[in-house]
Every structure is written in C-alpha cells, then in structure tokens.
Amino acid sequence: MKSGTPSDYSEDMYKVYFEVGEWEGTALGIIESFVSNSHSKNIIHLEFGYELAMPIQCVPDVVRLLNEKNIAIYQIVRGEKIEAAWR
C-alpha cells in the first residue's frame, strides 16, 4: 500500500479526525489554538473527538501538542482531500 502522504508537504487540505481522551475541553483548546481563528469555527465535534481540515504535514505537530498536555490519542483518521472550493 502506497498513499504518498508522508512526503506531502503541500498546502493541500484533508479531513482529519482526532479521537482523543478529552478532559474539560483541553484537546479542543489545543486544536483550536493550532489552527487559525477563522478555521477553528469549522472544527466538527464528534462523540469521541474532532474532525477538521488541515494539511497532512500538520498532523504530527498536533500530536506533539496533545502529547505535551498528556491528552490520550486513540486514533487519527485521514479523510478525503478537500477541493479548493472548500478552503
């Protein structure tokens, strides 16, 4: 299986789902502070995590920030690439 995303350093946006062990909105606050203020309103709250659009190259940065605050990450799911009209 070859998806090519580890070497995707473009600004292409993908839907990304973070399933986290949330505690009093800490994970949401970290994710909101990572994305720009205009993009934070597009974060979708799901039962066990959050879905948002971001470049695939930013995922490790969000993971690092969540780990720094001891937020458990249960899974990360990369969704489809978002076309330019959605940006």
Rounded average pLDDT over 49-74: 95
Q: What is the pLDDT of residue 65?
A: 96
Q: Is the pLDDT of residue 86 over 50?
A: no
Residue 75: strand pairing partners: 19
Q: What is the pLDDT of residue 44?
A: 95
Of 4 and 87, the one with more pLDDT: 4
From CA 73, how far away is CA 8, in angstroms rounded? 22
Which pLDDT tens digit goes with each residue over 1-56? 445 555 556 778 899 999 999 878 899 999 999 987 777 789 999 999 999 999 99
pTM of the model: 0.82
User: Are the beta carbons of 18 and 58 closer than 8 angstroms?
Assistant: no
Q: Is the pLDDT of residue 71 over 90?
A: yes
